[in-house]
Structure 1
């Protein structure tokens, strides 16, 4: 264990210096492109509801990179300070497996699945040659970072959707999908050979070289940069996106702590190593299942009220947003006349060229308020999305299936038929 005050500057220097490595930078940029593609897909869903996108692809991708950098630096400090070491040979398999799994389903772009599959393959087939406790511990620390990222930003950019829930009923809700590139610096161990050993070593490298008494070989610690990917997918129908992300962060924090304990115990027992490998991906699936299950058992939040029109979402920057209306608010009257339903709402707003006085119940302050909405400029709409009606027959299929996953579904369908 290195002195805390000594290692922090070294981690920071290695973390920033990693982006000067063309190979590391190229992998990081590829991950950024994959994330941008996902945010583009989400923006198309938003556009299908509002009639126009919010121009969030670049800001969302940039925000993901910013949060990923902060999370990666925090994760690097945690892993090095607690003494978690990894072998370079075990890291080269993670991304190829993660990308392959991503082709089956986008939420599999997460090391919990790739790490679990690799560990299970090693324990049952003897291939690849990896250290199972190391890989599982890496997954655990990364998901500790993810739990904090979800807590801080999991609710941002939530996409409204009409979701077909339990019993086939369509209700309003939000899809919470976030993807983060996580550049981290891990403490790698190289035994035998010199400090060069194929790794670019900075000038301060001798500070991390230590001899092992009684061992003819030296134990050399290398701060090795790695790019990881984390993905978060969830739905919110009975809670606000912020409330749901806080709850998911709690579940994921418990998952990561449990997985870290299993990783430590896996060093002493092959049975526990097998349990850790299986829990890596099944535990992550359990977090997703539990998050969706608690939405089913609680009454949905975004349903039509007894009076007025409840808003599922309000387009940021739009006419209604600037007037102060927000998700969950209930529009009661326009220009003093009550509004019976969403069809009546849009009929009253259609062709209006003058400011409209809106009486509404605020979901946040729990009080009746009044605001004036100025008509949108030509070509734009009012930026209002009501909750679906009881007879709603249109909804968005919440699919994250990748091309390989769709092919497997078609192949399986042909076999069954």
Structure 2
């Protein structure tokens, strides 16, 4: 029933005062199911709610895989007393879905769900997004199987809650133990983001590359790059280091535009 999902909204709003990540339907849906099972109120169809929870997370895993990268932006984190570069990833998707109610005359009711993906990484964001999508798909598939097995009604919401928290905990632990990719360098500046309309994108510079010189001028900060860009050059000679290709030199001649990169700022270290 649509009223069942109103209870979830109320729980989600209350949980949001603790932490916004608790607004996920995995928490609201599971908690309202546990309340209904333990106390007998409200009277709701717990199986249908848990099926919706599992289905929406399957859809979310697919959206993360194909669209999650659009929500990434550079950020800086403190690790072992230092600041390192990385990415925050935040993405929201409004998702309408239809449920059918009634015994004799069945009629459709359209509801709206807001799916969200919040994450961070100290390495390349595409790898993290793919890994997260796979883990979330396995989690929701396992939940779907448990629901279909018709075990005790209390099992699916408990699995949903514990599984969701376990995924988040493991994710944080893995990131804390990772060797950060975007640290500062003794020479040059490390690229952490690239604009689609800049020179760097045109000539094939990648995230993680280290820019050493531009037009034979050594660069050690974003300010150095800004000063070179202010000269409005149409000819560029860029020396940089790529982990796979080693030292490389790229030439650019064309329209006047910026280099189009963000770098790890040296001033934080």
Q: Normalized against structure 2, the TM-score is what?
A: 0.85
Verify the 8 A CA contact 1:133 1:264 in the aligned structure 2: no
Residue 319 of structure 1: how far off its partner (Å): 4.9
Residues 78-102 of structure 1: CA deviation (Å, up to 9, x unaligned): xxxxxxxxx4442332233334433
Match of 1:8 in 2: none
Match of 2:131 in 1: 247
Equivalent runs, 1:46-61 vs 2, <5 Å: none
SS in 1 for 2:37: helix
Q: Give the one of 387, 392, 415 matched to 2:264.
A: 387
**Pair 1:342-2:221 in alignment:** yes
SS in 2 for 1:154: helix
CA distance in 2, matches of 1:229, 1:317: 31
CA distance in 1, matches of 2:11, 2:126: 32
CA distance in 2, matches of 1:157, 1:366: 30
SS in 2 for 1:316: coil
CA distance in 2, matches of 1:387, 1:92: 45
Q: Give the one of 172, 181, 185 matched to 2:85.
A: 172
Residue 226 of structure 1: how far off its partner (Å): 1.9
Residue correspondences, number: 268
CA distance in 2, matches of 1:328, 1:283: 33
Match of 1:312 in 2: 192
Verify the 8 A CA contact 1:147 1:250 in the aligned structure 2: yes
Equivalent runs, 1:148-163 vs 2, <5 Å: 148-163=62-77
Match of 1:282 in 2: 162
Q: Give the one of 249, 260, 273 matched to 2:144.
A: 260
**Pair 1:297-2:177 in alignment:** yes
Q: Normalized against structure 1, the TM-score is what?
A: 0.57
Match of 2:122 in 1: 237
Residues 87-140 of structure 1: CA deviation (Å, up to 9, x unaligned): 444233223333443344333332111101211221233222112222111101
Match of 1:136 in 2: 50
Residue 350 of structure 1: how far off its partner (Å): 6.4
The unaligned stretches of length 5 or more in structure 2 are: none
> In structure 2, do the counterparts of structure 1 residues 289 and 168 end up closer, same or farther at CA, with 3 Å as the change threshold?
farther
Verify the 8 A CA contact 1:134 1:263 in the aligned structure 2: no
**Pair 1:126-2:58 in alignment:** no
Q: If each structure's helix is expressed as a fraction of its own residues, which one has the higher value?
A: 1
Residue 359 of structure 1: how far off its partner (Å): 1.6
Residues 127-160 of structure 1: CA deviation (Å, up to 9, x unaligned): 2211222211110111011111111111123111
CA distance in 2, matches of 1:96, 1:376: 54
CA distance in 2, matches of 1:264, 1:386: 50
CA distance in 1, matches of 2:139, 2:26: 11
Kindly report the root-mean-square deviation, in angstroms, between the aligned alpha carbons of the 2 structures. Answer: 2.8
> In structure 2, do the counterparts of structure 1 residues 177 and 98 end up closer, same or farther at CA, with 3 Å as the change threshold?
same
Residue 257 of structure 1: how far off its partner (Å): 1.4
Match of 1:68 in 2: none
Residue 263 of structure 1: how far off its partner (Å): 2.2
Q: If each structure's strand is expressed as a fraction of its own residues, which one has the higher value?
A: 2
Match of 1:110 in 2: 24
